[in-house]
Amino acid sequence: MDLSSKMRDALLRRTVNRIAKRYPSQLPSKADLLTLHFAWGNIGFMASLSYLKKIAVAVHETKGPILECGSGLTTILMGILARGRGISIYSLEHHSVWQIRMREVMDSFGFDHVKIIDAPLKDFGEYDWYHFEKNALPQNIELVVCDGPPGNIKGSRYGLIPEMNDYLSDNCTILLDDANRRNEKQVMENWRVRHGFRYELEGVFQKFALVNRA
């Protein structure tokens, strides 16, 4: 680990500790989120600040288990806010090397309530989606944070609903990132027409969608 990496790692830990110390009386501030963004350093694959802020509010309000599609900075943020509340996070990750990295990070923060699930991508015919042991997830998931898999796979992120619907509670909220991309727009329309879900766009430049059952 070079000096710059060590400095970012130290900054990340200080910021995580600061957010945890203030929570639940105070949600992460914009400055906290900016610092997390910088310290994590995975430029090009990170969520926007508006999306991170929405995730923080959603995790704060949820009372049930959380599903994440694609792990990263959002996993850390949710891990901070869910710890000590009896809420588990299940993060599907298809990239084997990144799985190792994320498990090391979760272990280093003591986030034993966060499970990084080995979920390689599989061809389901009309779409590609994560493949994993079905008993790896609980029923009645209350919140889904979907920033994966990559949007250029077959069907983009459409597989979330047909493959995961049985795990979702009636009141489940889905936060779908990259909602201004053409593929994701088609995904949301297919969810609406085929599965009876509704969606609302939020954000300015890098939009995300709030998706619920209609």
Is pLDDT above 60 for 1? no
pLDDT at 165 over 90: yes
Region 71-83: mean pLDDT is 97
Which helix (H) or strand (E) segment holds residue 176: the answer is: strand 168-176
Alpha carbons 36 and 28: distance in angstroms, whole number: 10
Look at residue 212 and tell me whether its pLDDT is greater than 90. yes
Q: Per-residue pLDDT tens for 135-159?
A: 999 999 999 999 999 989 999 999 9
pLDDT band at 205 (very low <50, low <70, confident <90, very high): confident
- Between CA 77 and CA 96 the distance in angstroms is 21
Task: Kindly state the average pLDDT of the residues 96-104.
Answer: 97
Predicted local distance difference test score (pLDDT) of residue 45: 57
According to DSSP, the residues that pair with 89 across neighbouring strands are 66, 114
**How far is residue 175's CA from residue 100's CA, in Å, rounded to a whole number?**
25
Q: Where are the domains of the chain?
A: 45-213
Can you give the pLDDT at residue 184? Answer: 96
Averaged pLDDT, 160-182:
96
Q: What is the mean pLDDT of residues 104-118?
A: 98
Say yes or no: domain 45-213 is CATH 3.40.50.720: no
At position 27, the amino acid (one-letter code) is L
Flag whether pLDDT at 43 surpasses 70: no
